[in-house]
Amino acid sequence: MGPVTTAPASLEVSGLAFAYPDGHQALFGVDFSVARGERVALLGPNGAGKTTLVLHLNGILGGGTGTVTVAGLPVGKRHMAEIRRRVGIVFQDPDDQLFMPTVREDVAFGPAAAGLKGAELEARVRAALDRVGMAGFAERPPHHLSFGQRRRVAVATVLAMEPEILVLDEPSSNLDPASRRELADILRSLDVTVLMVTHDLPYALELCPRALILSDGTIAADGPTAGLLCDDALMRAHRLELPFGFDPRAATAG
């Protein structure tokens, strides 16, 4: 599946460099673009700057050099509300993301903040919950759900905003195999652009045809996921290890 070139890219990052106020530099010139409808994995060892990069995508962090463009719209103070609607970030800990007293209100939070109300809001919430198979849990408080369910609701909260691009931070962490598969099915069924930040290499291979490796604050590799995972030297150089017994060649051949 080749990138579609007619529409502007969903995400365009160029020359992004950033240092925290305490002087620690996390990004050293990051360049990549994600075309509309693509599913891309962002791989990298701990401390590579993945989370820092993610927080740049919707303008929570900023002030360094370089630009981020979402569907042709530059990330900056002027379009902040629109950018945050277009970039849906699913954070690693669903407990951080689900802060409202019930699932329904949590899913409604984003669209309501954007000014939606009444029947339109209800419809949006129901559609988002349907897409992750959680429609029956709308009135439940988030902390009464299982971890996998909470992660799915977290995805729904973001889907309800009808984002241009879905950014998932470690979507498979702490999930049991069944929840993992359910989430994969959901993500595959969505027709949005996905950028998935993960350590979980088999999951990346399963879901994303293309992968980026972020290492020491720069993009070290960009190519088909299977090809990257099969390149042992590249993998070793960036502290990426496949789980025991997992062979990407065999997995893609099947």
Q: Which residues bind other proteins (CB under 8 A)?
A: 21-22, 55, 58-63, 80-81, 84-85, 87-89, 91, 93, 95-97, 99-102, 104-105, 108-110, 112-114, 117, 121, 141-143, 157-158, 161
- Strand-pairing partners, residue 73, are 70
Scored b (16 or more CB within 10 A) or e, 8-25 reads: bbbbbbeebebbeeeeee
Give the position of tokens 């360094």: 64
- Output the smallest distance, CB 11 to other proteins, in A: 15
* Closest alpha carbon to 152 in 181, 123, 113: 181
Nearer Cβ to other proteins, position 89 or 186?
89
Contact predicate 102/54, CB 8 Å: no
Nearer to other proteins, 63 or 243 (CB): 63
For residue 209, the minimal CB distance to other proteins (Å) is 26
Residue 39 Cβ vs other proteins, minimum distance, rounded to whole Å: 20
User: Number of helices and strands (H, E) in the chain?
Assistant: 11, 10
Query: Please, what is the minimum distance in Å from the beta carbon of residue 161 to other proteins?
Result: 7
Could you tell me whether strands 25-34 and 11-19 are parallel, antiparallel, or unpaired per DSSP bridges? antiparallel
Lookup: tokens for 226? 């299977």
20 vs 246 by CB, closer to other proteins: 20
What HEC string does 199-229 produce? CCHHHHHHHCCEEEEEECCEEEEEEEHHHHH
Taking the C-alpha atoms of residue 109 and residue 171, their distance in angstroms, rounded to an integer, is 21
Closer to other proteins by CB, 55 or 230: give it.
55
104/210 with CB nearer other proteins: 104
Q: What's the closest the beta carbon of residue 240 comes to other proteins, in angstroms?
A: 26
118 vs 245, beta carbon nearer other proteins: 118
Q: Smallest gap, in angstroms, from Cβ of residue 142 to other proteins?
A: 7
